[in-house]
Amino acid sequence: MSAPVVFDGVWKKFKQGERHDSLRDLIPSAIRALAGRNSFTDLQTEEFWAVEDVSFAVGAGEALGIIGPNGAGKSTILKLLTRILRPNRGRCAVSGRVGALIEIAAGFHPDLTGRENTYLQGALMGMTRAEVAAKFDEIVEFAGINAFVDTQVKRYSSGMNARLGFSIAAHLDPDVLIIDEVLSVGDMAFQEKCLQRMRRFKSQGVTIVFVSHNLQAVTELCDRALYLNRRPCLIGASSDVISRYVKDSFAVSSEAHQGEVQIASAELLHPDGTAVLDAVAPGARLRLSVTFEVVKAIDDVMFAFGVHRSTDQLLVYEGHFSQHELGLTTLTPGRFTVCFEFDSHLIRGQYYFAVFAAHRPTQRYLGRLRPAGHITISESRTWGGVADLNVNASLSTPAPTLSRVAGEPASVA
Amino acid sequence: MSNPSVLASLWTDSREIVAEQYEYRELLFQLTKRDVLIRYKQAIMGFGWAVFMPLLNTAVFSVIFTRVAPLHVDVPYPLFAFLGLLTWNFTASALRFSVGALTGNINLVTKVYCPREVFTISSVLVTMIDTLVGSIVLVAIMLYYHIGPGWAVFYLPLVLLIQVAFTTAVGLFISMANLFYRDVKYLFELVITMWMFATSVLYPTNLITGATGLVLRINPMTAIIDGYRDVLLYGRSPLTPAFMWTSVASLAILLCSAIVFHRAEFRFAESV
């Protein structure tokens, strides 16, 4: 059996520039068509490839994350998957019932009530009246809009709108679920509820394609990821793909401020001085060795070391060290190296370092480097969070209790 | 391409269209319900407009064609005119609604997959419901003049079917045309006004002779409206040569229009 979602060498082009939509434009376009110059599969003038040669397959119960910068063609891929667009070359096939969480409230009409819109939106997603009716209470409950079902949707807050939209989609029984950036709506509690719901879909064997800028959500939901930038850049295990994407993004958006105290280089090392090349285990002692270069003599400088989670920029740690703590009495032109040694008590994921030197009285940056290095932590225990607390679970009750729990008759003393 | 393969692909397309419409029948129902509900909620008069407009027009034209320029028809003129206006308005309003069916639902066209025919078909259905409400007044006028339909009323569903087929065919075409070329809606207003006077809405077009008369008689809307009059007012079979020709033509246009629409459908989302 072939996979539920198959993309096979898919190319998609779009027109650039202004759209010609007046009847006046009918004549030139008719002439082009008659002259046989309207090729469907090749580029014409004013056209560009939005998606080039993308191939992938997603199996049942598998979740694929699609990541990439803006304009990389992610939404185009989703529209190809949902049959809204047709590829110019190649083939895309999706089998089974497709649920799309794209613009989840697109079908809502502002003048209709929540109840009326639920039936309409359900029909748009391919649900019958009976199916919607059977799940209606659940849908409303999940969306948390019980008191407002018979209120016109135009009176809803944008959050309520989105929650109802997601809730309808979440109660569909899809074989394939296509999700576009829906987690950006709703409050924290609702976002968590959405993620949980998606995990449940996945465990039920639903095939998921998830497009998001929220790399943390992609990490949590997807086993595999596709890094797209019009062409597929990398496809594979989501942690590898995300770390590559993060590195590429920083190649464009890294911050390197160079003032009186410049940062010449930074290197991540094991305690024995060898470079860190692979993923490390949580808790490993590491050393970031940073070489500063003083351009102009300056006093009262502090040095900062920070760790961010790459997937969502979360600041995990930031510590400041004064010049005197480091034993630097004066800062005169020349180079010196500072070693930041630390225990990487982090859960699995990608992190990066940020280093800066600042003038303490004025809080002015003298030199700054972000990222100053990357690190991947690998482990399989934790389920969520940031810090690895080195938790040990053990049994402290005596053995007889255990045997009772297990259903064996307790021995009578 | 050889002939058999053209036929085969037409057959495949037609089957696909029908299968998709069947699959999405719930959506058609919900969209129609949506538009009916909105009409009720937004306009104070709701369905009143469906009754009021032909009634007002009937009054105006009754004065013109009974007092100013008397016109001889076989039934009381107000009845002749009201039936003409009611049935003409069905097609005219359905088409006016269809012009914006895709552009007005652009959110859905670009973001959700569904056979896009449903937007046009639901426009036709909504207008049909309006017309059914308006026909209550028709019954009242018929009672007033003591004119009732005879056995020929059994042909009524056939006439309605042909009108729906013809209207849907034109509706599909113009809704698609307006998506690609946004000035189609202005052109449409022009055409629909002229079209009404080329149809036997207010006067029997067989009064007009010569080349102009011939053009007016091949107009499918004339055959359809005459069909309603045959069935409801004159108590005779509507199966005139003109009506037969119109029936065949309407079904043929519907097939062509649906296939063109179906083949262009995948470009809709890119053309906005």
pLDDT digits (tens, 9 = 90+) for A385-399: 888 888 888 888 766
What is the number of domains present in chain A? 3
Spatial distance between the Cα atoms of A180 and A101, rounded to a whole number of angstroms: 6
Instruction: Quote the pLDDT of residue B2.
Output: 52
Q: Kindly tell me the sign of the dihedral angle through the C-alpha atoms of B222, B224, B228, B230.
A: positive
> Would an 8 Å CB–CB cutoff place A159 in contact with chain B?
no
Evaluate whether residue A388 is within a structural domain. no
Evaluate whether residue A322 is within a structural domain. yes
> Would an 8 Å CB–CB cutoff place A29 in contact with chain B?
no
Instruction: Quote the pLDDT of residue A220.
Output: 81
Question: In 3-state terms, what secondary structure has residue A150?
Answer: coil
Best mutation site among A21, A26, A88, A172 for testing chain B: the one with the most B CBs within 10 Å? A21
Q: Which amino acid is at B180?
A: F
Spatial distance between the Cα atoms of B176 and B265, rounded to a whole number of angstroms: 8
Selected residue with higher pLDDT from B37 and B143: B143
Evaluate whether residue A391 is within a structural domain. no
* Phi, psi of A409, rounded to the nearest 5 degrees: -65, 135
Instruction: Quote the pLDDT of residue B85.
Output: 93
Whether residues B187 and A23 touch (CB distance < 8 A) is answered with yes
What is the number of domains present in chain B? 1
Chain A residues in contact with B37 (beta carbon < 8 A): 111-112, 116
Cis bond upstream, residue A371 (ω within 30): yes
Indicate if A370 and A272 belong to the same structural domain: yes
CA neighbours within 13 Å on the CB side: how many for A182?
31
DSSP label of B148: -
> Would you say A10 and A92 are in contact if contact means Cβ atoms under 8 Å apart?
yes
Q: Does B51 score more than 90 pLDDT?
A: no
CATH of the domain at A69: 3.40.50.300
Q: Does B73 score more than 70 pLDDT?
A: yes
Closest chain B CA to residue A81: B113
Closest chain A CA to residue B114: A124
Best mutation site among A109, A129, A155, A168 for testing chain B: the one with the most B CBs within 10 Å? A109
Evaluate whether residue A147 is within a structural domain. yes
CA neighbours within 13 Å on the CB side: how many for B266?
12
The mean pLDDT value for B7-31 works out to 90
Selected residue with higher pLDDT from A189 and B59: B59
Which residues 77-136 on chain A approach chain B with CB closer than 8 angstroms? 79, 82-86, 98, 100, 102-103, 106-107, 109, 111-112, 116, 119-120, 122-129
Indicate if A88 and A235 belong to the same structural domain: yes
End-to-end CA distance of chain B: 32
- Scanning B24-116, the segments in alpha helix (DSSP H) are 25-42, 48-63, 77-99, 106-111
Reported as a pLDDT band with limits 50, 70 and 90, residue B47 is low
Whether residues B26 and A15 touch (CB distance < 8 A) is answered with no
Best mutation site among B20, B25, B27, B271 for testing chain A: the one with the most A CBs within 10 Å? B27
> Would you say A49 and A11 are in contact if contact means Cβ atoms under 8 Å apart?
yes
Question: In 3-state terms, what secondary structure has residue A305?
Answer: strand
Q: Which amino acid is at A287?
A: R
Indicate if A115 and A181 belong to the same structural domain: no
Indicate if A236 and A355 belong to the same structural domain: no
Indicate if A140 and A212 belong to the same structural domain: no
In this structure, the dihedral spanned by the alpha carbons of residues B69, B73, B76 and B82, taken in order and rounded to 10 degrees, is -80
Q: Kindly tell me the sign of the dihedral angle through the C-alpha atoms of A156, A162, A166, A169.
A: positive
Assign 3-class secondary structure to A198-236.
HHHHHHCCCEEEEECCCHHHHHHHCCEEEEEECEEEEEE
Whether residues A84 and B113 touch (CB distance < 8 A) is answered with yes
Task: Please give the angle made by the CA atoms of B110, B113 and B119, to the nearest 5 degrees.
Answer: 75
Spatial distance between the Cα atoms of B220 and B50, rounded to a whole number of angstroms: 23
Closest chain A CA to residue B106: A106
Indicate if A271 and A350 belong to the same structural domain: yes
Task: Please give the angle made by the CA atoms of A190, A191 and A192, to the nearest 5 degrees.
Answer: 90
Spatial distance between the Cα atoms of A109 and B19, rounded to a whole number of angstroms: 27
Q: How many contacts does A have with B, using Cβ atoms within 8 A?
A: 83
CATH of the domain at A315: 2.70.50.60
Selected residue with higher pLDDT from A411 and B124: B124
* Listed residue (B128, B166, B157) closest to B228, CA to CA: B157
Spatial distance between the Cα atoms of A379 and A346, rounded to a whole number of angstroms: 10
List, in order, residues 6 or more apart from B58 with CB less than 8 Å away. B78, B81, B82, B85
Question: In 3-state terms, what secondary structure has residue A110?
Answer: coil
Spatial distance between the Cα atoms of B94 and B50, rounded to a whole number of angstroms: 12
Which residues is A359 bridged to in the sheet? A301, A364
> Would you say B172 and B117 are in contact if contact means Cβ atoms under 8 Å apart?
yes
pLDDT for B260-270, tens place per residue?
999 888 888 88
Question: In 3-state terms, what secondary structure has residue A375?
Answer: strand
Indicate if A182 and A33 belong to the same structural domain: yes
Q: Please report which helix (H) or strand (E) contains residue A66, including its range.
A: strand A63-67
Whether residues B113 and A14 touch (CB distance < 8 A) is answered with no
Q: Is the pTM of this model over 0.80?
A: no
Instruction: Quote the pLDDT of residue A186.
Output: 63
Q: From the CB of residue B216, how many other CB atoms can be counted at a distance below 10 Å? A: 18
Indicate if A2 and A65 belong to the same structural domain: yes
The pair of structure tokens assigned to A283 is 């808790």
DSSP letters for B177-232: HHHHSTTHHHHHHHHHHHHHHTTTTSS-GGG--HHHHHHHHT-HHHHHHHHHHIII
> Would an 8 Å CB–CB cutoff place A408 in contact with chain B?
no
Whether residues A22 and B113 touch (CB distance < 8 A) is answered with no
Evaluate whether residue A390 is within a structural domain. no
Indicate if A188 and A168 belong to the same structural domain: no
Instruction: Quote the pLDDT of residue B1.
Output: 46
Minimum-distance CB partner of A106 among B33, B38, B107: B107
Q: Please report which helix (H) or strand (E) contains residue B254, including its range.
A: helix B241-264
Structural domain harbouring B16: 3-270
Instruction: Quote the pLDDT of residue A158.
Output: 80
Evaluate whether residue A400 is within a structural domain. no
Structural domain harbouring A304: 254-377
Indicate if A353 and A284 belong to the same structural domain: yes
pLDDT for B239-256, tens place per residue?
999 899 999 999 999 999
Task: Please give the angle made by the CA atoms of B188, B190 and B196, to the nearest 5 degrees.
Answer: 95
> Would an 8 Å CB–CB cutoff place A30 in contact with chain B?
no
Q: From the CB of residue A296, how many other CB atoms can be counted at a distance below 10 Å? A: 11
Indicate if A2 and A149 belong to the same structural domain: no
Angle between the N-to-C axes of helices B117-144 and B77-99, in degrees from 0 to 180, rounded to the nearest 10: 170
Spatial distance between the Cα atoms of B96 and B159, rounded to a whole number of angstroms: 21
- Report the side by side order of strands in the sheet with A334-343: A261-269, A285-294, A334-343
pLDDT less than 70: residues of chain A: 1, 17-20, 36-38, 103-104, 182-186, 251-255, 398-413
Chain B residues in contact with A107 (beta carbon < 8 A): 107-108, 112
Evaluate whether residue A407 is within a structural domain. no
Question: In 3-state terms, what secondary structure has residue A179?
Answer: strand
> Would you say A304 and A367 are in contact if contact means Cβ atoms under 8 Å apart?
no
Residue A122 to residues A19, A84, A171, B153, B227, Cα–Cα distance (Å): 33, 18, 9, 40, 40
Indicate if A218 and A278 belong to the same structural domain: no
pLDDT for B135-169, tens place per residue?
988 999 999 999 888 888 999 999 999 999 999 99
Angle between the N-to-C axes of helices B117-144 and B25-42, in degrees from 0 to 180, rounded to the nearest 10: 60
Best mutation site among B20, B27, B30 for testing chain A: the one with the most A CBs within 10 Å? B30
Instruction: Quote the pLDDT of residue A341.
Output: 93
Evaluate whether residue A412 is within a structural domain. no
Question: In 3-state terms, what secondary structure has residue A292?
Answer: strand
> Would you say A348 and A239 are in contact if contact means Cβ atoms under 8 Å apart?
yes
